[in-house]
Structure 1
Amino acid sequence: MLEILAITTPIFLLIGAGYLAMGTRLVNREQMQGVATFVLYFALPALVIRAVTQNPLDEVLQPHYLLAYGLGSLAVFAFALLLTLGLQRKPLSEGAIHALGMSASNSGFIGFPVAAMVLGASPAAVFLALNMLIENLLIIPMALILAEVGRQRGAGIATVARKTLFRLIRNPILVGLALGLLLAVTDTTLPRPLAQAVDMLANASGPAALFVIGGTLFGLQVRGMMNDVGQIVAGKLILHPLAVLGIFLLMPEADPALLAGALLFACAPMISVFPLLGQRYGLAGVSAATLMVATLAAFVTLSMGIWLMDLASLLPTR
């Protein structure tokens, strides 16, 4: 177990460094947002480009992974909707945001740094690219379309879908994925100076992302929201990994390496923009508190998940 803590503790120390930097006013919200912008618009796209171009394309596009992780995420999304809409009688917008929190991982800011330490940077970057496809082309659009339909009852679903799609095609990580696929398909090699710049940006993505998460958590409150917060956190940190595991086990000849990567990303807390999306639908407090609790609880669940995967011999020998 000490070996597992040796992997997860540095990750949460970096998160703590971001929290401490905000708490001591070493940086302010605007400066922290600047670091977040750097990660989102430069470091993570570079990481995805490197993952796609430095590995054979057939190793990057893993249909078994896309199917298993996608179906597992969809199953949790559907369960969350059934729970919130059918049993708890919540509005559609609120149910969609709850479902998003349970089924979309913070793949870039937490999933990748953890997977990189456990599995290695190269396979972790491939899993990141695959998860970005699932989250940005399936889970997030579906949640936003449903939330907008619930909010704008007079607007047609086609109009809402078109607006959501337009926002998504400007997502910098998806742009990086498209560029990487274009380079891979055309067998184009980047000039050495440009390739080195991409490497440097990619290497900065993990530490900078974790630092931003810590800064984002500073000042968040949880009071009076524990029922909804606990429900979303349990769905994300427990139900989501179990659903992904279940789908993988149903598939013939599941690759242990793919399963390990999928579980590490599924064990991560929800996407870092969850509070921003929740704010749009009147759920700013709940979504921010949920992110804080899930990120802190992930220290325990990720450590336990890595320990269990190690016992099951899913992880490479360290």
Structure 2
Amino acid sequence: MVFAVIMPIFLLLALGYSSVKFHFLSKENVATVGAFVIKIALPALFLQSLASKDLHEIWYPGYFFVYSIVTLLLYVVAFFLVSHYFKNNQSQSAVLSLGASMSNTGLIGTAVLTLLMGQKAMTYTSLVVIIESLLLIPTVLVLAELSRQKQANLWSISKRTVLTLLKNPLFMGVIIGIGCAILQIRIPRYLDDVLALLGQTASPLALFSIGGGIVGLTLKYVNTQSLYLVISSNLIMPLLVFLGLTYLTDASQEMIYAGTIIASLPMPTIFGMLGQAYGLKDQALTPLLMSTIFGFMVSASLITLWWS
């Protein structure tokens, strides 16, 4: 079981990396593949999977609240340390703290958990996508923009953030899927088949694009700050999620394992994108690369431990 799950993951990562490294594809080609996954394949997968279930099959309040508390706690702690100890301004601190408290749930989490659990994975990843989309990313954007745009008011920034969220296909795929489950709306068979076919491409293409995306990244900014962000994201976060789900909820073993593995995964690509947008290119890309390597090591170790 372990070999059957881990080997496809690393082979797809290696294939994506090799395709760019040896110039079969450019980084722009791979970025287009990643955009297809995020904007089309994953939304289709979440929508099709969630809409076919009843609400009690996809809503786990204990899991949701434990993961939310851990996420926000680590973000607040990181914001304090990054701003006061590492001496970054508010805008920089808002973005850098994201790396300490968020994993690549959409691309990597969906791919890895689907190999482990099949369609059940969509339930666990969708709840985390909601946490990240509704709580974490809006907080990051609002804090960053309030600092950068001194004349902007909270209302205008919040409105712009909400509009950005509503234009996010991944988030909307999750929300519409859950809405269909709540209202017991079943997707027509022909549309369901199309969504299923699109969804089947999400996992392999996600891993392929991640592998291709790390070509050219270098460790130019290895320091205490980068190490802290990686340790918080890939060690402290999964540990707290594991302890919280184990001792504060009646979560099943599968749910505990799923939440812990999601939390252990590499930082999200949006961390690198926001880092570049806010003038933190090396400060964000270096921990992102470190986390990509270390996060896969941690998650592979957990899979070996729990599925052997």
Return the TM-score normalized by structure 2.
0.94
Identity of aligned residues (%): 30
C-alpha displacement at 1:250, in angstroms? 4.0
In 2, Cα distance between equivalents of 1:252 and 1:176: 28
Gaps of 5+ in 1: none
Q: Is 168-177 or 5-14 further displaced after alignment?
A: 5-14
In 1, Cα distance between equivalents of 2:293 and 2:4: 17
> In 2, are the aligned partners of 1:75 and 1:243 still within 8 Å (CA)?
no
C-alpha displacement at 1:75, in angstroms? 1.2
C-alpha displacement at 1:243, in angstroms? 2.0
Alpha-carbon distance change, 224 to 185 in structure 1, aligned in 2, over 3 angstroms: closer
Gaps of 5+ in 2: none
Aligned counterparts, 1:45-56, within 5 A: 45-56=43-54
In 2, Cα distance between equivalents of 1:249 and 1:206: 28
Aligned residues: 308
In 2, Cα distance between equivalents of 1:36 and 1:275: 14
Q: Out of 184, 190, 215, which is 2:181 matched to?
A: 184
C-alpha displacement at 1:6, in angstroms? 4.5
Aligned to 1:24: 22
Aligned counterparts, 1:1-318, within 5 A: 4=2, 6-118=4-116, 120-308=117-305, 310=306
Detail structure 1 runs of 4+ shifted over 6 Å in the superposition: none
CA RMSD of aligned residues (A): 1.8
C-alpha displacement at 1:107, in angstroms? 0.7
Q: Is 90-99 or 241-250 further displaced after alignment?
A: 241-250
Over residues 249-291 of structure 1, what are the superposed CA-to-partner deviations in whole Å (9 max), with x where a residue is unaligned? 4414333222111101101111122211111111122222222
C-alpha displacement at 1:26, in angstroms? 0.8
In 1, Cα distance between equivalents of 2:57 and 2:97: 30
Alpha-carbon distance change, 213 to 89 in structure 1, aligned in 2, over 3 angstroms: same
- For residue 188 of structure 1, give the secondary structure of its aligned residue in structure 2: coil
In 2, Cα distance between equivalents of 1:51 and 1:66: 18
> In 1, are the aligned partners of 2:17 and 2:215 still within 8 Å (CA)?
yes
In 2, Cα distance between equivalents of 1:136 and 1:183: 19
Q: Which amino acid aligns with 1:66?
A: F
C-alpha displacement at 1:63, in angstroms? 0.9
In 2, Cα distance between equivalents of 1:69 and 1:210: 24
- For residue 100 of structure 2, give the secondary structure of its aligned residue in structure 1: helix
> In 2, are the aligned partners of 1:45 and 1:173 still within 8 Å (CA)?
yes
Over residues 217-242 of structure 1, what are the superposed CA-to-partner deviations in whole Å (9 max), with x where a residue is unaligned? 11112124333322211111011112
In 2, Cα distance between equivalents of 1:23 and 1:235: 30
- For residue 25 of structure 2, give the secondary structure of its aligned residue in structure 1: coil
Over residues 99-120 of structure 1, what are the superposed CA-to-partner deviations in whole Å (9 max), with x where a residue is unaligned? 11111110121112211222x1
C-alpha displacement at 1:165, in angstroms? 1.4
Q: Is 240-249 or 11-20 further displaced after alignment?
A: 240-249
Over residues 146-184 of structure 1, what are the superposed CA-to-partner deviations in whole Å (9 max), with x where a residue is unaligned? 111222233222322221111111100122123213322
In 1, Cα distance between equivalents of 2:111 and 2:129: 15
Q: Which amino acid aligns with 1:216?
A: G
Q: Which amino acid aligns with 1:160?
A: I
In 1, Cα distance between equivalents of 2:96 and 2:240: 17
In 1, Cα distance between equivalents of 2:141 and 2:240: 22
Alpha-carbon distance change, 95 to 246 in structure 1, aligned in 2, over 3 angstroms: farther
- For residue 105 of structure 1, give the secondary structure of its aligned residue in structure 2: coil
Return the TM-score normalized by structure 1.
0.91
In 2, Cα distance between equivalents of 1:107 and 1:11: 15
Q: Which amino acid aligns with 2:214?
A: L
> In 2, are the aligned partners of 1:46 and 1:199 still within 8 Å (CA)?
yes
Q: Which amino acid aligns with 2:21?
A: G
